[in-house]
Structure 1
Amino acid sequence: MNKIDTQVRHVTKAGANLFAELGFAPDDAKRYQAESRERIEHTLAIKEQLMGELASWIKASHLKQDEAAEILHVTRPRVSDVINKKTSKFTIDALVDMLARVGKSVTVVIG
């Protein structure tokens, strides 16, 4: 039986520049981290907007979370996660699918 090596050899501290930790040149590491943060913020903004649309639909439809869950084909805790904008728990695709289930189309505009 082969033994799997699971020893932790290095831990990057929270807030550290991962690109610098990986050995990129300081200027490159700084630039890559800034680009990464910008992309993450953009993705989070899209998810928050989609979740806001779903939450508005639920409120306007006067639905309880379990009723919305049945329509959206998700569990009630997932509806709670949408309402509370827990962005890390959803992909953009999943949110777009839920919006489609309630008859809302999503249009992408590239600027």
Structure 2
Amino acid sequence: MAIQFFDSPFHATHDSEVASKKALKMELSIFITDYIKTLGLKQSEAAARLGVTQSRVSELTTGKIEKFTIDAMMDMLDKLGFRTTFTLPSNDGGALPLIVISQANAC
């Protein structure tokens, strides 16, 4: 049996469309969680800044990505002072979209 390589762990267990969305949400959750830690915010402080409950921040930091939409995560990035840009691959490739997250202003 040959070794198989996948774009993400999700691609090993889900169809391509579902896997790509899950991989994107995981990347966004990791980025947001890491930035909250960089700012030194407690979950309650992060919740106030993001306009969500502390339990939502807890769900985000524990990787419960199925509870979030990509839109909700984009809103969180906006509230943290970031802007995102998507670069979609061509139709003939199976590559994942490239996401560029840039800081719009100092927080």
Q: What TM-score results when the alignment is normalised by the length of structure 1?
A: 0.66
* Identity level (%): 38
Gaps of 5+ in 2: 1-13, 90-107
User: 1:83 — aligned with what?
Assistant: 61
Between the aligned partners of 1:106 and 1:72, the Cα distance in structure 2 is 16
Q: Which amino acid is 2:34 matched to?
A: S
Correspondence 1:94 to 2:62: no
Structure richer in strand, relative to its length: 2
Runs of 4+ in 1 over 4 A off after TM superposition: none
1:50-88 superposed Cα distances (whole Å, 9 cap, x missing partner): 111110111000010000000000000100111111111
Q: Which amino acid is 2:60 matched to?
A: V
Correspondence 1:67 to 2:45: yes
Correspondence 1:107 to 2:66: no
Number of equivalent positions: 76
Query: Which structure has the larger Rg over C-alpha atoms?
Result: 1
CA RMSD of aligned residues (A): 1.0
Q: Which amino acid is 1:50 matched to?
A: L
Gaps of 5+ in 1: 1-35
Structure richer in helix, relative to its length: 1
Q: Which among 15, 18, 23 is matched to residue 45 of structure 1? A: 23
Between the aligned partners of 1:76 and 1:51, the Cα distance in structure 2 is 15
Q: Which amino acid is 2:28 matched to?
A: L
